[in-house]
Amino acid sequence: MTDKYCVIGNPIAQSRSPEIHAVFAAQTGQDMSYERCLAPIDGFADTIRRLVAEGYKGSNVTAPFKLDAFRIATRLSDRARAAGAVNTLAYRDGEIFGDNTDGAGVVADIVRNAGVPLAGKRLLVLGAGGAARGAMLPILAEHPRTLVVANRTRATADELVAQFASLADGCSLSACNFEDIAAPFDVVINATSASLGGTIPPIPAVTFCQDTLAFDMMYAKNPTVFMEFAAAHGATTRDGLGMLVEQAAEAFFVWRGVRPETQQLLKDMRSKL
């Protein structure tokens, strides 16, 4: 029988996950279907129970349900536990396994697709919310020399740094306010949602130089305002479309044990923006 998967959210019509996973399934010869699932805001748990009863094998989870998915999982991966949120569920052997592939998607796109290694580099993460938290463990696993978390509210950044201090493994891990940034970084990751509103975090121009990769987790047809600001100060820029594709590939691997190729799909999706 064809294995069934879906992406759960509210709203969900905008999700590109069915397109992505259809390509992955065809490419790897997997007998599976994938659809969108609109869950009521107060009905996530009931939706999961229904999917399990109907024989679904797994789900991606998008806004606003990543915390609900974390709570409903009966077993968590290390990266989901560290992130405090789940974007991938697998229903198997009577359990609900929760994982978080967002951070792995960020790292894969930077290291593999952009060709920028993170080992030994100076990294800056802008924002200390859920997106930043999800990226921390995969970033630290790359062994950067320095990782600074900058946030509008310093206490929130301090809390995030304290949470991951025991996992730093030789990396200098610290926090600051946006306006306290005083030197350029090798890689700057915008994990805020500011680009959605057409704004940027209040960071100084000194954050960037000609050797900086400025990565925005958001994506659009045109460069985000964050990317424009970074480019104006010498940085190379990259948006979050590759992250979207790579986090989906990681979820596909969690479900199927096969890692799909992403390069052509990423090119095709870029051309359709």
**Would you say 127 is a known binding-site residue?**
yes
Residues 66, 121, 267, 272: which is the catalytic one? 66
CB 12 within 8 A of CB 34: no
**Would you say 131 is a known binding-site residue?**
yes
**Would you say 46 is a known binding-site residue?**
no
**Would you say 16 is a known binding-site residue?**
yes
**Would you say 183 is a known binding-site residue?**
no
**Would you say 55 is a known binding-site residue?**
no
CB 235 within 8 A of CB 210: yes
The 3-class secondary structure across 151-187, one letter per residue, is: ECCHHHHHHHHHHHHHHCCCCEEEEEEHHHCCCCCCE
Lookup result for tokens 């994982």 = 99
**Would you say 219 is a known binding-site residue?**
yes
**Would you say 218 is a known binding-site residue?**
no
Burial class (CB in 10 A: 0-12, 13-18, 19+), 176: middle
Please confirm, yes or no, whether 66 is among the known catalytic residues. Answer: yes
| Cα 70 to Cα 98: distance, rounded to the nearest angstrom | 7
Annotated binding site for NADP(+): 78, 127-131, 217, 240
Catalytically annotated residues: 66
Annotated binding site: 15-17, 62, 78, 87, 102, 127-131, 217, 219, 240, 247
Annotated binding site for shikimate: 15-17, 62, 87, 102, 219, 247
